[in-house]
Structure 1
């Protein structure tokens, strides 16, 4: 399981990628829409704090993870936590596509850009690794709302235990 921060944002991110992938007639238009995102990137940057899931897709396909330890750890924390890595730390554990380097430079000039880049890399890793199976969009989960309630209950129980409370017998 990932942190609540990534559980929350991942579903919106995955849905955004799905929306970019095909048009209303089912044609694959991801490459064209990605080029549009890259052209709009200076405008999109204004949303890195309020809607990072709308900006992050501009980096779809930009990362190749050489080592997964740090990105996996980041997925279990959130911006502001002591164990949330900096972009410079995480960047040493991945390869960045050449086309993405100017976008990274633009992000690093923004307040919150460092955390945004780490968040984006984690979202991309989650999308490609199965790390966020619980957070996959409803259409791809293959289980019903009772399972969701059970997952939420288990997550709550785990959190309470982490806070030092005894587990509730049900």
Structure 2
């Protein structure tokens, strides 16, 4: 999987923004408190959605869970001018109630839908532990193993504090595991059904 230039450029900035919020000058983990403050500031940050989307997008960290990974995998390979609509993309996402309130605020802005699509892609990449090749540059890996582990630990702590089952988070992040657990279909049927669903939503079908 190769990222589009758009997501390749923004992903490192998004992760760096989260890292900046994670600890204070004494090394204490203050991510939860700082994210809460950032969410309160969203109405005042709308003007930054186009110029610095990663600085606003972190307010949604932990608010999206992905029930159709194939859609997000396709999204992060696209440039901004090839995005699907937000109405299409949100069918593949479960939005936490607190995040839905922020979504409603963002959608009052003309650039809101584009920003939300960007945010979903960035959050998906942040939460995913898959190895990716950044394209078209020869940039360093998106995150080191240590950084990914730190984010996983933070996500687990955050999910517990918010009362969300972390096991369910993993299930929604990986649709293959979810389907296998429920015994809904075979791997072949899942791939075919996923491809059919993507085609219906306007995504290019992969032969």
TM-score, normalised relative to structure 1:
0.76
Q: How big is the shift at 1:140?
A: 5.0
What are the superposed Cα offsets for residues 115-156 of structure 1, whole Å, 9 maximum, x if unpaired?
11011011000011135653237x859xxxxxxxxxxxxxxx
What are the superposed Cα offsets for residues 40-85 of structure 1, whole Å, 9 maximum, x if unpaired?
111111100000010000000001100111111110002211xx21
Residue 110 (structure 2) aligns with? 111
The 1:132/1:55 distance shift into structure 2, 3 A limit, reads farther
CA distance in 2, matches of 1:5, 1:16: 17
4+ residue runs over 4 A deviation: none
Residue 60 (structure 1) aligns with? 61
Residue 96 (structure 1) aligns with? 95
Residue 155 (structure 2) aligns with? none
Q: Secondary structure at the match of 2:80?
A: coil
Aligned length: 138
Residue 5 (structure 2) aligns with? 4
CA distance in 1, matches of 2:130, 2:6: 14
2:136 equivalent to 1:136 = no
Calculate the aligned-residue CA RMSD, in Å: 1.7
Any conservation in 2 of the 1:56–1:120 contact (CA below 8 Å)? yes
Q: Secondary structure at the match of 1:38?
A: helix
Give the alignment of 1:41-60 within 5 angstroms: 41-60=42-61
The 1:131/1:107 distance shift into structure 2, 3 A limit, reads farther
CA distance in 1, matches of 2:122, 2:46: 17
